[in-house]
Amino acid sequence: MKYGLMTYAENNKTFNIGDYIQSLAAKQFLPRTDVFINREKLAQYRNEQVKLIMNGWFTHNTKNWVPSNDIEPLFISFHINNTAAPNMLNEKGVNYLKSKQPIGCRDHFTVKLLQEKGVEAYFSGCLTLTLDSYRVDDSERGNEIYIVDPLYGFPNKQRIFYNYKSVLRSIQNRDIFKMHIKNKYMKKIFTKEFLKKAQYIEQELPANTYSEEEKFEIAEELLHKYARAKLVVTSRIHCALPCLALGTPVIYLNGFDSFVDSCRLDGLAELFNIINIDRNAGFITSNFDVGGKIDSKLELKNPNMHEKLVSTLKNSCLGFVYFNGK
């Protein structure tokens, strides 16, 4: 039996290193990695039978669904986005998932989606909650504050000027005139001193630059940074969720206003210290006591509600990997 690890397709300009953090969460349960299998090419795999932990967001290439018969999958922390669901959950897709049930889902939205199709499904949470293997002793924790892709869903240069179609769309919906909004809200939430002291990280990196091995190395470097941080502020769930596992205080900034984004958070949002920004109404709310603008002296603890999910996630992966031998 071989063991596979998922990799991910780049777009024309970037790729998301957060995807590779998800794969690192799967990798820690494998005795070895024999083959990389691209998430968008699961149906094309033809080789010796391979066990593959299939966690994360599915999928851009819905026409290439379902996975090959040469893949023995574990569906854990599985998310079907609402945009992909109509194509993925056709008769063929539903019958395939029924043959692999029960399906562990990353969010309640996916659970409901599958159950409505008659597929046995349950809420597992995200596999990145098991990344405590990267945790360090608190004596190694420094004073670094990292701000990672804050409010990246707000209008920004990268999205607006991605191509000519995105420029035209942003002119039509007036997003091109709203690129200042992110900074406006950041200044409302955090002090100038905090924003100046923080180190900024982007999890979207340039395409056609790194090998798959290098991408995994970058992902590991980020986990080591987050593990030693005093505080992390982010709008990336695959920064925030690993921070929970690492014991690193984290604030999740939720400024998403579309169902495509919000459906991913159903069941996960309650695990964080979270600040919600309502762009339309201009409201800022939180589930913890902010007490004015946040400065670098903030002492914050995570809710630790995620811990109830971790043992089931670990046991599911270990049982799958080691059942029937290596």
> CB–CB of 106/195 below 8 Å?
no
User: Tens digits of per-residue pLDDT, 127-175?
Assistant: 999 999 999 999 999 999 999 999 987 776 676 566 667 657 767 766 6
Give percent above pLDDT 70 in the chain: 92
Give the number of residues written for the chain: 326
Residue 101 carries which DSSP code?
P
Buried b / exposed e over 290-299, threshold 16 CB at 10 Å, is eeeebebebe
User: Tens digits of per-residue pLDDT, 187-242?
Assistant: 999 999 999 999 999 999 999 999 999 999 999 999 999 999 999 999 999 999 99
Block residue for tokens 């709203």: 178
The domain segmentation of the chain, as residue ranges, is 2-128+309-322, 131-306
Buried b / exposed e over 138-160, threshold 16 CB at 10 Å, is eeebeeebbbbbbbbbbbbeeeb
Fold classification of 2-128+309-322 (topology level): Rossmann fold (3.40.50)
The span from the CA of 29 to the CA of 27, in Å, is 5
Block residue for tokens 């799967």: 26
> CB–CB of 70/47 below 8 Å?
yes
Is the pTM higher than 0.95? The answer reads no
Where is average pLDDT lowest: 21-35, 75-89, 147-161, 242-256?
147-161
Block residue for tokens 């179609």: 165
